Chain A
Amino acid sequence: MEALTGWWDDYFWGALIVAKVFITSLSLMILFGLLGAGAKLSNNRLAQRIAGAYTVIFRGTPEILVILLLYFGSAIALTAIAQIFNPEVKFVDVPPFWAGTIAIAVIVGSYATETFRGAFLGVNPGSIEAARALGMSTLQTFIYIRIPEMWRIALPPFGNHMLSLIKDTALISIIGLNETLFVAKQAITVTGKPFTMYIVVGIIYLGFSSVVTLVVMGLEKFGNRTTVGAK
């Protein structure tokens, strides 16, 4: 344990970066998921095709490939663009934070697309008809009927997507993001205690997963507060 002395603050900053990646990629993931679900449910053939390709591609490709492709690929693309304006530019660095965050958001967003689509289709048509019969407008129906019902259906799988996101942040260390796994690597070169250092990383991630699980449980309870006893 004494090997850890002096490394706690590095782990703390690493954990903070994990949290930062998680929150940023979570908002992007929701955006991609909603766009994907919207496209799949739309009547536009082209939009349906694009969303279909999106889900097939990112659910069938290893996460690490997507991260590497986005990181190295965007560096090359940005360098080429920069050289148009200034031929003296040798290389444009892409921050691993953004390349990695966008990559995992795109990947998990493809799973969220199916979740949101399923939740939208899972709303009881009877509830919608009842809302119409009560004279609710489309907007009112959406806010008071659709969203609460979709929320209940989507939340359990959505909780799993959040867990995937938190765990996928570890992969971003491969392209050099200084999160906890990266901190551990540095600590190992100094202390020569790989087991101790990686176990700490494991415990940090277990803590994050536990918090996410507890939050989802709370939200599920909140979402189902009016259905207690109805089952």
Chain B
Amino acid sequence: MSFDINLILDSLPLMLSGFGITLQLLLVSGFLGLILAVLLLLMRLSNKWYLDWVAQVYIYVFRGTPILVQIFIIYYGLPQFEAIRDSIFWNILREPTGCAILALTLNTGAYVSEILRGGVLGVDKGLLEAGSALGMSTSQKFIYITTPIATRLSLPAYSNDVISLLKSTALASTITIADMTGIARTIVADTYAPYEVFISLAIVYMIFTLLIQKLFGVIEIYLGRYTRREE
């Protein structure tokens, strides 16, 4: 058992060549997931019981099952139906990347909508009453009062979810995608050197996590610029 530095130097550039795919999975599904989360949130806040109910069942199912199972159902499962293979969605579902993005989007959307709901529920009632007293309409109150405050309140929890989304992108390697983890698994299968390869990749992920935390720290300070007290 030895620790081969040369192997790390050889394999690190290879693994980093998959960084683009990891980043693509993170950004695309993060963005689409956020849109889905807002839609689910609006459904839950609407006073229509059926919309609320659909959103609740959706969130329950996607938070209650492992993301790996969701990925497998979409990638391996959906082609079972001829109707899907004949539909226009087949162009996306045929590609493993499309499937991974779809699965990650559907999954993160469920988690993020709950985070946003927590933010909305945390908005001080008094502020909304003040809005009413100023003659604001419901949508004006939502846009000018609820949205900015709820964004600020849910940001810390949201940054945690972005990090867990990053970690979930590694599961794309299970459906043949050559992201950083996928490349690492290929290298390990060839060289049988799990320590060197997996530990150096873990460090790459940790640095990436740290950068995400720093970025959100900056955004948090920016969004909280009116709430800081002058000493």
List chain A positions with a Cβ less than 8 A from chain B. Answer: 56-57, 59-66, 68-69, 72-73, 76-77, 80, 163, 167-171, 173-174, 181, 184, 188, 193-199, 201-202, 205-206, 209-210, 213
Check B69–A188 contact: CB distance below 8 A.
no
Check A171–B167 contact: CB distance below 8 A.
no
Check B198–A69 contact: CB distance below 8 A.
yes
Besides A61-B206, A167-B67, A170-B66, 11 more A-B contacts (Cβ < 8 Å) are A60-B163, A62-B169, A64-B181, A73-B194, A73-B195, A170-B69, A194-B76, A195-B80, A197-B77, A205-B66, A206-B65
Q: Cβ of B67: which chain A residues have Cβ within 8 Å of it?
A: 167
Q: Cβ of A168: which chain B residues have Cβ within 8 Å of it?
A: 66
Asked if B209 is an interface residue, CB under 8 A from chain A, the answer is: yes
Q: How many A-B residue pairs have CB under 8 A?
A: 123
Interface on chain B toward A: helix, strand, loop, or mixed SS? Answer: helix
| Interface-side segment among B48-56, B119-127, B130-138, B170-178 | B170-178
Asked if B44 is an interface residue, CB under 8 A from chain A, the answer is: no
Interface on chain A toward B: helix, strand, loop, or mixed SS? Answer: helix
Most chain A CB within 10 A, of B70, B81, B206, is at B206
Per the bound structure, the CA–CA distance linking A163 and B66 in Å amounts to 10
Q: Cβ of A76: which chain B residues have Cβ within 8 Å of it?
A: 1, 192, 194-195
Q: Cβ of A167: which chain B residues have Cβ within 8 Å of it?
A: 65-67
Check A181–B174 contact: CB distance below 8 A.
no
Check B80–A194 contact: CB distance below 8 A.
yes
Q: With A64-B170, A68-B194, A77-B1 in contact, do A57 and B202 touch (Cβ < 8 Å)? A: yes
